[in-house]
Homo-oligomer: A and B are copies of this chain.
Amino acid sequence: MMNTFPRILELCELNGFLKPVIVNGIVSYFKYGPLGELLAQNIRNEWIYSNVINRDENVYLHYDAKSGIEPSKYSKEAFKTARTLNNGHLPFGLATIREGQKQPLVINNESSIKYFHPSMSNCLKYTAFTSTNQGQQFFYRWQHQRKIWWRKFSADPGRFSLSEIHSESSDLETTHIIANFPWGNETLETITNYGTSLYENLSTSEKTFFEARDGNKKTLPYVVESVCSEGTSALTFLSDAYNEPTVMGSSKKVLRLHRKLAPYKICFAAAPTSNAVKDEIRLLATFLNKGLRKAGISTLLPSTVLAKKALESQHALNDSLGIPFTIVLSQTTLENGILGIRSRETTLEEQSHVSKLVSYIELLMKNY
């Protein structure tokens, strides 16, 4: 168990997820293969859904290719635009998904390579500007919500926890979200309770610039910020999903990626059969695949090997790619339209009809 991490990295590289690029003993960045880039895209979309779209207050994205990297130095411009869109009132939020992060979130003093903290990775950063009397409560609520976000996509939710709160000063508290892996803890996200300390050393005119309305009075916003990185998230969810179950005496590699994050949601499989049937099965797979893709479902169609290798080896490959569902076609499907939908999680197959496939899969993908 202690040595799974090298095998995780090996699988990540072999299957086109990601590959850490190491320069002078430091992970400089991740190279993303086809599956990793789709995973990163899905992580960004889920982060946006949870941090920007599905919020009580309005949260405003922004992006400045040239902005600095300090966590809380929001460009005055982004703050001003957001406040205007919010009619001058608190609370509101700012978020960015592609500001370059050029330093590791946390520097440990250990000698091992910090795979989870590539020097360069897109920063997923959220900043809340709220009223002073709700700030402290928001800080506690936000920690909790962020922890739930990590757990929601996990194959082993208990792995994610919050660290103790560190008080650097009376007005500045930080807490971390931590994942517990067999090889130790990894720090994933930092949540900082700045309060109004960010504005303390500003001149009076600068202070006035940052004021916003709280009901009828003008006040300096209370600031709470959370920061994680896309690269850290991708490697975390891959490591979290990695499993080595023993089936019939032999060890397999399964990536139990959440279906919202899985790069490919659907693959096709069929047991080897005669050449004539094989061609018809491939045509049917192509047709079904077209319908799924039109509905926006990301699929992988192994058209040239379908019905060639043993069904078990096709499933084993799909499991190691983290694909949650495999459509199993056979000669019977050609006769009566009944196909199998094999779940990676249960390894069981349920039956459906070709005519209902797209709407059923859409339903499966919709819920968390």
Contacts and interface: CB of A to CB of B under 8 A. Distances in A.
A34 B49 contact: no
Contact of A37 (B56, B62, B66, B301): B62
B31 A64 contact: yes
A16 B53 contact: no
A32 interface: yes
Given A48-B41, A298-B53, A64 B32 contact: yes
A12 B55 CA distance: 25
A87 interface: yes
Nearest to A300: B58
Contacts of A36: 63
Interface in A42-66: 45, 48-49, 52-56, 58, 60-66
A52 B296 CA distance: 10
A358 interface: no
A157 B52 CA distance: 31
Contacts of A32: 61-64
A238 B203 CA distance: 38
A77 B31 CA distance: 10
A16 B81 contact: yes
B87 A61 contact: no
A293 B53 contact: yes
A155 interface: no
A38 B82 CA distance: 13
A153 interface: no
A305 interface: yes
A295 B3 CA distance: 41
Contacts of A54: 293-294, 296
Contacts of A30: 65
Contacts of A40: 63
A49 B294 CA distance: 9
Interface string A74-85: 000110011011
A33 B78 contact: yes
A114 interface: no
Nearest to A33: B81
B85 A34 contact: yes
Given A82-B34, A85-B34, A87-B304, A21 B66 contact: yes
A290 interface: yes
A85 B300 contact: yes
Contact of A60 (B34, B41, B86, B98): B34
A325 interface: no
A16 B300 CA distance: 38
Closest 5 pairs between A and B when the two form their complex, measured CB to CB: A34-B60, A37-B61, A32-B63, A16-B81, A89-B304
